Structure 1
């Protein structure tokens, strides 16, 4: 009989670094009177419960056990499997003659129950399920030797892998791969969820994530401030501002998108159309005159202003018919800047003279901004700090802004987004798998755990820029606009990917925005306690 997964599927919001989880573990022992042996028994029992629910037919289980507490969890699981008359083999890695504490007690209990222990040489070919209890969260250097060989064999096997606490080889805090890592089908995390499960390469290796707090009292968690908060659209949609029945377009923001160098008209068009779908009252685009006349043919609701290079530079050519037309477009740009409530600067902007001139012109206007793409690259060339902007770099742009390598950004994404906000002010959004949002002040950084690899295609960032800018224009504070916008963007990507991730394009996300917002509005019509 197939059983549903237990309540470990209901994941908490708080994310903790590995050192914090170890501190919580120790606090549970010292302050709550839970012994280390009890925590290990609970971890093994929780893992076995998930195993039975997820693989009810598995009868040939191989447990790879390291010599630490993660291995001890594996011994408990193996004992329970043996007691339930499942076929189980436990293969050891590391110096098991030096086992101590609760791990040694778990190993003895497994052996006393009749379980056998063998050193690992290779995985048996008849394994129906592999349990990774090798290393857990303590790893800081790349795997080598027998450890790397064991991970490689796990990944080459046809059997699914169930990881305890964290796939071996994955860094708990950053989600980077330390040489090689186990590709798990399911991972169960204990006491505190780790950021590396959801960001960096973590989603590639963790599979389905489950959680069990091991009955650690809630009071214990007060001793640690989470490293990040996990957010998603279901939670964030409640923060959308409600529209008054008497609202008009002037109440809902005037967004000016600035970008689109010659040959790059698609980027501002995507940003502008996404902003309209998220509810911006008016959207104008200031773009290169080479394509200004045709940019809105497929979306007439967009206002378009062609800006020649002389206009962007603010020069005054001699009075001719041509210069008169340039003067008209310059006035249109100035009028748009004067009327706009927020500017999205950077989509398709380029870094040549035209793009540099518009960049300087908009920054001089001192308006609330969402800065993306080449706007970020130009910022990296001449850094400055402002409190009224949202920066949305991908790892490559973040590396240029921080003066480091992409590898260094990805090595600790949580630290990278903190440094971005500290150096440049405002709100920083570090895009990628498990996008991170860092605002000013003590508010913990946020991590969006939604989205999919189909979103790795051109134009997705332009759509996000338009979404965040539209939310800013509708009155959300910058950090909330960034958090809600990132989650809405990810949820739209997931909705659009129902027909398949491969071949997903940015326009598909735009089509998914209004249905998601419509559902959110209908949910908001249900009376809440604070409506009484």
Structure 2
């Protein structure tokens, strides 16, 4: 994931806003006596300071401007650069004569500062310097105009460092969805508050380093504007764990049973079981195909392995555990369906992952409309689409909306996996995991997550707290492992030593 920091290098506020909420904050500031043009100058000054701190004294600054206030920010930045006698030009995709309001005042400021302004032409991209993206801003949705699309193509084709103002053009501020031609920024300076779309979906890939400039917005201005979501912090989530009493015993920390590992997929169940044990569960067992038992015991003798050939054989075993993890390596065979059927009948708290979700979506084993308050569902976008009877692209286009829809339909807590994983809890609150890296795009990562979640539930955490902590722990461990091993070589089990380190002292 991209680095996120505030303009003063401190940890940024955790609140995430929609575009409409940020506009409401903007209007509250203006109503409080700060003229719009003054706010625009604050934004441009903050972005200019980041430009100099991040890139030094550039050979040339190419500022691509559109027709709204985002373009106005770009004009003011260009004017500030000219006042510093830095070589700068504005590439106007929208004729400046068409600008109105504060954006027009910003253009006039740039003119007075002696900025060269030329109309955009679809020719060769700039060959040196820094590019500033001030084309669209947070109001963008839908499709690009032809000239804007051509300008973005030119920016990306330059292969120069790009500073995006507020948001990379072509990225939706609310959803994290983006058009194919969106700007790929090196650094994004976002204003007033972090936008939801910057940290999930396509946002992390397009924003690069993300810097928040709050423009001196006070708490009084923020009063009455409730954030849409929050960033999840691993350190704060770890505080959910209680220190163990000196006279604690294994019965105090629950018994997780992992149900899965159809023929050929025993490794998935084993990884989930080992993750549950490393998360702190007092006891961990596995109900799996008999042929996997020997391998599980050889790899992890602390795990109790039971071979079961039918749901009838599983049923009496379900009197032992306090939490179930079902799905890792489960498959979609008749055996798989019998396992899920018995797990559902038990009424135990559970983590539902992988093919257990796909069987649920089919509606045969788990009746359509089933809701439970004591489970955590962990779909990736494809599984989420099947659960909601929609398409994977639809899920990715509206990640925040869809994770909320899943939680409302199925109850409990839901983790919608992907870049900027989303966690919706039983109260409908949404959190975003900002840790994680592309090395996690490999087999078994979801099995480790489901096991961690089961281990946390077994220790008494609520489904919401377990989902938040488990998702953060999983992603943070992956980042630490990637530092040691690199992203390309990262394996799911590489996360477990890092999980242990993160849990040390908690």
Task: Tell me how far 1:98 sits from its aligned partner.
Answer: 1.5
- Residue 297 of structure 2 aligns to a residue in which SS? coil
Maintained 8 Å contact 2:315/2:342 = no
1:275-424 alignment, distance < 5 Å: 275-309=276-310, 312=311, 314=312, 330=313, 333-382=314-363, 383=368, 384-424=370-410
Matching of residue 490 in structure 1 with residue 475 in structure 2: yes
For 2:300 and 2:49, the matched residues in 1 are separated by: 54
Report the counterpart of residue 46 of structure 1 in structure 2. 46
Q: Is the deviation greater in 334-343 or in 21-30?
A: 334-343
1:196-345 counterparts in 2 under 5 A? 196-309=197-310, 312=311, 314=312, 330=313, 333-345=314-326
User: Aligned with 2:194: secondary structure?
Assistant: coil
Aligned twin of 1:506: 492
In 1, Cα distance between equivalents of 2:198 and 2:352: 29
Per the alignment, in what secondary structure is the counterpart of residue 295 of structure 2? coil
Which residue pairs with 1:171 in the alignment?
Answer: 172
After TM superposition, the structure 1 stretch with the greater mean CA deviation from structure 2, 480-489 or 153-162, is 153-162
Q: C-alpha separation between the residues in 1 aligned to 2:62 and 2:21?
A: 30
Tell me the CA shift for residue 156 of structure 1: 1.6
In 2, the alpha carbon distance for the partners of 1:42 and 1:202 equals: 24
Q: Deviations over 1:468-507 (max 9, x none)?
A: 1100101111100000000000000000100210121101
Alignment match of 1:431 (pick from 411, 417, 426): 417
Cα shift at 1:368: 0.3
1:294: Cα distance to partner? Answer: 2.3
Shift of 1:440: 2.1
SS of equivalent residue, structure 1 residue 374: helix
Question: Is the contact between residue 125 and residue 155 of structure 2 (CA under 8 Å) also seen in structure 1?
Answer: no
Corresponding residue for residue 426 of structure 2: 440
Aligned to 2:13: 12
CA distance in 2, matches of 1:73, 1:14: 23
SS of the residue aligned with 2:453? helix
- TM-superposed CA distance for 1:335, in Å, is 4.9
* Residues 376 and 397, structure 1, Cα contact 8 Å, conserved in 2: yes
> Are 2:84 and 1:103 aligned?
no
The SS at the match of 1:239 is coil
Moved runs in structure 1, 4+ residues, more than 4 A?
none
Superposition pairs of residues 70-85 of structure 1, within 5 angstroms: 70-85=70-85
> Once the two structures are superposed, what CA deviation does each residue of 1:55-85 show, in whole Å capped at 9, x if it has no partner?
1131311000111100000111111111111
Could you tell me the TM-score, scaled by structure 1's length?
A: 0.91
| Gapped regions of structure 2 (runs ≥ 5) | none
Q: CA deviation at 1:179?
A: 3.2
Whether the 8 Å contact between 2:166 and 2:188 is mirrored in structure 1 is: yes
Larger Rg: 1
Q: Identify the range of structure 1 (474-483 vs 508-517) with the bigger mean alpha-carbon deviation.
A: 508-517
CA distance in 2, matches of 1:5, 1:88: 26
CA distance in 2, matches of 1:289, 1:229: 44
Partners of 1:334 and 1:355 lie apart in 2 by: 14
Q: How does 1:444-523 map to 2 (within 5 A)?
A: 444-498=429-483, 499-518=485-504, 521=505
Q: Map 1:112-127; keep pairs closer than 5 Å.
A: 112-121=112-121, 122=123, 125-127=126-128
> How do residues 111-150 of structure 1 correspond to structure 2 at under 5 angstroms?
111-121=111-121, 122=123, 125-150=126-151
CA distance in structure 1 between the partners assigned to 2:39 and 2:443 by the alignment: 47
CA-based RMSD: 1.5
Task: Provide structure 1 residue ranges, at least 5 long, that are not aligned to the other structure.
Answer: 315-329, 525-532
Q: 1-side partners of 2:7 and 2:362: how far apart? A: 52
1:132–1:162 Cα contact (<8 Å) kept: yes
1:9 offset after TM fit, Å?
5.4
Q: TM-score, normalised by structure 2?
A: 0.95
Q: CA deviation at 1:375?
A: 0.9
Aligned counterparts of 1:51 and 1:235: Cα–Cα separation in 2: 32
